[in-house]
Amino acid sequence: MAFEGLADRLQSTIKKMTGKGKVSEQDVKVMAREVRLALLEADVNFKVVKEFVNNIRTRAVGAEVMESLTPGQQVIKIVKEELTALMGGEQSKIAVADRPPTVIMMVGLQGAGKTTTTGKLANLLRKKHNRKPLLVAADVYRPAAVDQLKTVGKQLNIPVFEKGTDANPVEIANEAIQYAKEEHLDYVIIDTAGRLHIDTDLMDELYQIKQNLSPDEIFLVVDSMTGQDAVNVAENFNEQLDITGVILTKLDGDTRGGAALSIKSVTNKPIKFIGMGEKLDQLEDFHPDRMASRILG
């Protein structure tokens, strides 16, 4: 299960604080050290850890313990609130354009789950929000990518706009938006090219698409299993494209959780959705408070 190590360590640390009355300074010192180690082990960015532990320490020292709570429970409450804040606080909603269609650009490195997530997002918008999406195949370098999106569209019975691999991605996307207007479709979700690594050509191309389309959302798809790398990738894409949100995939795996805990504070962009499996209905809204509860049991 994701976050297992972190969850175990935080829970056992806090369980040790069983005394009554005020949270003692000694308690806080021990707890802060353990929380710090637990977060570093979970591959959370070290700057994020430092700030997080400082916040907890400040809040926990001398915190008046509510009568109904033991000091341990009081500290759990503080840690839970801080974890929630760290992951973005409120749940972040998806944009809706004043005039349809809402245009979403999906970006990310190859293998992160971009194409699968493009389909999942269309499925979620249709099922949960009652919207009519259009998928757009704008990865013109790999015929396999176009085919993969077509297969996803067929599985979901959602239309896919494609022009093979000869057209230019900006043209494809513009035509797709026009098509969506004619067909009264309200979300256009563009699957852009991915690469194994970040390179200038890729970023230039994505930037061109962004400049030409002014999308309502730019979602970066990152693989939560890659930990610190996911955070670096997010930082890089955000610098170049000013993304609007992150979709974290593979949270069903045994990720240590560092990406989920670091991305918001490193990029200042919210995690909007999480991928919880390979199936096309396994995309969920991301709720920072629920994730914090899951980690703390």
Positions at the binding site for GTP: 108-115, 191-195, 249-252
**Residue 21 Cβ vs ligand GDP, minimum distance, rounded to whole Å:** 45
As a whole number of angstroms, the longest Cα–Cα distance in the chain is 71
* Residue 92 interacting with ligand GDP (CB under 6 A): no
* Residue 111 interacting with ligand GDP (CB under 6 A): yes
What is the full DSSP assignment across 127-141? Answer: HHH---EEEEE---S
Instruction: State the Cα–Cα distance between residues 56 and 86, nearest whole angstrom.
Output: 12
Question: What type of residue sits at position 40?
Answer: L
* Residue 113 interacting with ligand GDP (CB under 6 A): yes
* Residue 194 interacting with ligand GDP (CB under 6 A): yes
Q: What's 106's DSSP letter?
A: E
* Residue 112 interacting with ligand GDP (CB under 6 A): yes
* Residue 150 interacting with ligand GDP (CB under 6 A): no
8-16, 34-42, 106-114, 206-214 -> range binding ligand GDP (CB under 6 A): 106-114
Question: What type of residue sits at position 136?
Answer: V
Instruction: State the Cα–Cα distance between residues 267 and 49, nearest whole angstrom.
Output: 15
* Residue 88 interacting with ligand GDP (CB under 6 A): no
Query: Which residue's CB atom is positioned nearest to ligand GDP?
Result: 275
φ/ψ region of 264 (left if φ > 0, alpha if ψ in -120 to 50, else beta) reads alpha
4-12, 31-39, 114-122, 199-207 -> range binding ligand GDP (CB under 6 A): 114-122
* Residue 250 interacting with ligand GDP (CB under 6 A): yes
Pair type for strands 217-223 and 133-137: unpaired
Q: Within its chain, how far is the Cα of 195 from the centroid? A: 19
* Residue 169 interacting with ligand GDP (CB under 6 A): no
**Residue 251 Cβ vs ligand GDP, minimum distance, rounded to whole Å:** 7
* Residue 5 interacting with ligand GDP (CB under 6 A): no
12-20, 89-97, 124-132, 245-253 -> range binding ligand GDP (CB under 6 A): 245-253
In order of 106, 113, 114, 139, 222, the CA distances from 147 in angstroms are 17, 15, 14, 10, 22
Count residues near ligand GDP (CB under 6 A): 17
Q: Are the beta carbons of 17 and 24 closer than 8 angstroms?
A: no
Q: Please give the sequence-ordered ranges of beta strands (E in DSSP) within 39-186, or none if there are none.
A: 102-108, 133-137, 160-161
Pick out the residues of the known binding site: 108-115, 191-195, 249-252
Which residues contribute to the site for ligand GDP (CB under 6 A)? 108, 110-116, 194, 249-250, 252-253, 275-278
